[in-house]
A and B are shown apart, each in its own frame.
Chain A
Amino acid sequence: MRILVLALRRVAWMPPTLLGLTLIVFTVSHVIPADPARAMAGENASTAQIEALRTKFGLDKPLPQQFVRYVTDVLSGEMGVSLYSQRPVASDLLSRLPATFELAIAAIIVAILIGLPLGVVSALYRNSPLDQAVRLVTIAGLAMAAFWLAILLQLLFSMKLAITPVQGRIDGWGPDPITGFYTVDALLRGDWEMFGTSLRYLALPTLTLALPAAATIVRFTRAGVLNVLSSNFVFYQGAMGIPRRIVVWKYILRSALIGTLTQIGLVFGNLLAGAVVVETVFSWPGLGQFAYNSILQSDYNAIMGFTLITGSAFIVVNLLVDIAQAVLDPRGR
């Protein structure tokens, strides 16, 4: 019941938050001194042509009026047309969504596979040489600029060892879409060669995103396990004669992972942010690259659409994390 109230309250706050976000991005993007109508019309366009475009996209109206018009359009499911590609923003975003999700999901899986075991072991063997080494690596991992890590990986794996492509997502066209995830689609169609290729393209951007995320997960898992190890209920279970192994792997992990789960949720949000830089470096045709290009081209509608989508995703992820946390922790019920 308490969880339901929490969820409803948060969902109710979503529309005003998104409205505020739209207002901020609208203000920021429309202060741009560049003239999108002129840019769109091309170099040799006449003043009349530019004026026509301006009228067509409502760029001649006062800003508050443009804002209201934008919000009403979005509410009726219309995100406008990209000033640059001339395609509807919604379909542009939709076509790029799978690439980013494939990357983010792959990265979070890799990060969890590396981060969780290392964090637990690091806590159980606290202050051992292994723990010290893990801590040093995580500190470095959190301080590394993503674009630099990307370049180092390209230098090693693509240029020296030549086992991964430098950038891009696939050779030629990807597999016929089912899910839009190239690796999954290739598997579903039984195309092993395509699967191998897409995996090699996916490897470096995934690693770039996963390593800092893994470092965060290690830190929080380690802290969580250490915290639980010293709590009274572990002491009590030990005194009751429950074998140490069961206490560690069943009770301690469960309590410790609740904290980690919150972090994984937040890390997932950070992956979306990291995607902007990483996708640009690897020419990965996802939302991040789209956002970066749109910003450079002063493509208002595209920027606004991207912000709305990411903002919604951020809020939903945070909400899911809070709900999962409330459900998982028996003390919170």
Chain B
Amino acid sequence: MSMWRRLLRDRALLVGTVIIALLVLVAVFATPLSTFPEHVTAFDPAQRLKPPGAIFWLGTDRMGADIYSRLLFGARLTILIAVVATTVAVLIGVPIGLVAGYYRNWFGEMLMRVSDVFLAVPQIVLAIAIAQTLGPAIHNVILALSATYWPFWARLVYAETRSQRNEIYVEAAIAMGASPLRVMVLHILPNIMSSIIVRTTIGMGGTILVAASLGFLGLGAPPPTPEWGRMIAESREFLPQAWWYATAPGIAILLVVMGFNLLGDGLRDVLDPRIRRSANRAP
């Protein structure tokens, strides 16, 4: 079955792809799509806390800025944080996992123990500590997230590499004189790529949730950055009257994280033949 036919058949994959594609489109075309693009930095206090209507589609916030427009620009920020933080985490975690799984000696053992240390405390606690230390800024949030997330990839790649290490194709490559680096990068890595892709997709959703939590706690980008978590935090003092204030950014986070989770689940079905076979077996 071709990739495209499968995409259409697998609803999770389809819905996930559509949501993420929409997110990217919204982020790229935030300026033309928004009704009040200037409201990202400029405000209109006369219009504060207006309910959703014909002019302000999703209402206005405490500064009189259009929530719909701010949401669109927030999408940019969300993508930026998720993509950069996850990429850095992957770039740190994958090589460490590969090396630790390939060389089963004290060095590999030590690398994994170091990652265990990072996993021994809730991720958000470390992330809050780092973000607070460095101060509220987007690049600090990204740093805090990648510094706490790389061990997840190290663990995964370590386990996968260890199981691939005994395969005949690896033995063959070594017998033909391939260097360890070559075996790891050109032989083992392609074989474990599908699990890395799946884990990374789902990890994006997790990263967005933690980033939003940091924003909510006031440790994210400083105002007036249209960060979704911060928007929800700002809304709290205007409840229950301004119900729309927290609703829109909350739904945005929900949809985007759901999109990444569905995409990850769908990709797993497509990329991992073992699970595909067992899923098709009659109960």
Chain B binds chain A: yes
Chain A residues engaging chain B, CB cutoff 8 angstroms: 13, 16-18, 20-21, 24-25, 28-29, 31-33, 126, 139-140, 142-148, 151-152, 154-155, 159-160, 226-227, 229-230, 269-270, 272-273, 276-277, 280, 291-292, 295-296, 298, 303, 306-307, 310-311, 314-315
Indicate if B38 sits at the interface (CB-CB under 8 A). no
Residue pair B217, A21 in contact (C-beta under 8 Å): no
Q: Count contacts between A and B, CB distance < 8 Å.
A: 135
The secondary-structure label for the interface of chain B is: helix
Q: Mark B261-281, 1 if CB is under 8 A from A, else 0.
A: 110000000000000001001
Q: Which residue of B lies closest to A16 (CB)?
A: B113
B39-47, B66-74, B171-179, B208-216 - interface stretch: B208-216
Tell me, yes or no, whether B283 is within 8 Å of chain A by CB. yes
B32 CB within 8 Å of chain A: no
Give the chain A neighbours of B249 by CB distance below 8 A: 148
Partner of A139, one of B130, B216, B236, B262: B262
Does B120 touch A at the CB level, under 8 Å? yes
Q: Is the CB of B258 within 8 A of A147?
A: no
Q: How far does the alpha carbon of A154 sit from the alpha carbon of B125 in the complex, in Å?
A: 24
A21 partner residues in chain B, CB cutoff 8 A: 117, 120-121
Nearest A-chain residue to B258, judged by Cβ:
A143
Cβ of A77 to closest chain B Cβ, rounded Å: 21
9 contacts between A and B (CB under 8 A): A32-B133, A143-B254, A144-B253, A145-B209, A147-B229, A230-B283, A292-B217, A310-B121, A315-B120
Cα of A280 to Cα of B229 in the assembled complex, Å: 14
Q: Does B92 contact A (CB under 8 A)?
A: no
Contact B240 A160 (CB under 8 A): yes
Report whether B113 and A272 are in contact in the complex, using a CB–CB cutoff of 8 Å: no
Minimum C-beta distance from A279 to chain B (A): 11
Instruction: Tell me which residues across on chain A come within 8 A of B212, comparing CB atoms.
Output: 145, 147
Check B117–A17 contact: CB distance below 8 A.
yes
Q: How far is the CA of A25 from the CA of B132 in the complex (A)?
A: 12
Task: Return A272 CB to nearest CB of chain B, in Å.
Answer: 6
- The contact of A17 among B116, B135, B209, B257, by CB within 8 Å, is B116
B212 CB to closest chain A CB (Å) equals 5
Given contact pairs A32-B133, A148-B232, A226-B283, A277 touches B216 in the complex (Cβ within 8 A): yes
Partner among A155, A159, A295 whose Cβ is within 8 Å of the Cβ of B128: A295
B216 touches A145 (CB 8 A): yes
Q: How far is the CB of B103 from chain A (nearest CB, A)?
A: 20
How many Å lie between the Cα of A273 and that of B257 in the bound state?
A: 19
B116 touches A230 (CB 8 A): no
- Binary interface encoding of chain B residues 227-255 relative to chain A, with 1 for a CB under 8 A from any of its CBs, else 0: 00100110110011001001001100111
Known: A17-B117, A20-B114. A230 touches B261 (CB 8 A): no
Complexed CA–CA distance, A229 and B133 (Å): 51
Contacts of A295 in B (CB 8 A): 128-129, 132
Contacts of A291 in B (CB 8 A): 125, 128
Closest-by-CB residue of A relative to B124 is A273
Complex Cα–Cα for A32 and B262 (A) = 39
**Does B122 interact with chain A (Cβ within 8 Å)?**
yes
Report Cα–Cα, A226/B279, bound state, in Å: 9
Are the C-beta atoms of A159 and B113 separated by less than 8 Å? no
- Assess whether B84 is interfacial by the CB under 8 Å rule: no
Q: Is the CB of B253 within 8 A of A29?
A: no
Kindly name the residue among A33, A142, A298 whose own CB sees the greatest number of chain B CB atoms within 10 A. Answer: A142
Judge whether A276 and B283 touch: CB under 8 Å: no
What residues of chain B lie closer than 8 Å to A314, measured between beta carbons?
A: 120-122
Contact call B125/A310, Cβ cutoff below 8 A? yes
